[in-house]
Amino acid sequence: MYRRPIIAYLRVSTGKQDLESQWMTIEAWTKTRGINIDERIVEEEPVSGAEDERPKFQELWQRVKQGKIGTIVVAELSRLSRRMRTLVNFLYDCFDNDIMVISIREGWLEEALKNEIIRPIIIAMFSTLYELERKMISERTRAGMARAKAQGRHIGHPYKLSQREVRELVKLYEEGVPIKRIAERLSVSRATVYRYLNRLNISRSKL
């Protein structure tokens, strides 16, 4: 019924308790189906917040594209990705390679994907959600820029420091103040601080 290999993917963010909760959910599901998991992939939440930069997930995705997986089991779809665009693209590749995706907490998905008539509807639904998310992000961005402009905050091109601020930046840097503290002091990003240091060809090794 379920094509092999059957892969369980677990993504944890709060340590052992989170992992055990997901695994108990998956294990209970396997017992009711009378099947065994062939491989368990456990991935820690990226501390950088870079949703797509998960090495084990990317490796899993590559195996999907190569058709080397039969079934993927997760406790819930958000374990695969919280970004709708990523989730849609991943599921598309699974569908294209006839790989079943089982999300235990979204049990309706399993039955829906088995039906050849309903399957394209599900794909279209995910695509619509992705497009909706994209538009919502765009609208929030525009609204945020409008608020920033109304509050007199700088938007658009990187903030330019005055000559006095540049002198202060260099002075603080020469005194050994961390880049983060300098950026906070001048109300700019760390990237802006580095940009000015590079432009002035200043590094602590040259001081």
Q: Which residues are catalytic?
A: 13
Phi, psi of 201 (to 5 degrees): 55, 45
Question: Contact 84/74 with Cβ under 8 angstroms?
Answer: no
Return the structure tokens found at 166.
């540049």
Question: Contact 74/9 with Cβ under 8 angstroms?
Answer: yes
Question: Contact 70/6 with Cβ under 8 angstroms?
Answer: yes
Please state, in angstroms and rounded to a whole number, the distance separating the CA atoms of residues 154 and 76. Answer: 41
- Quick one: CA dihedral 130, 133, 135, 137, positive or negative? negative
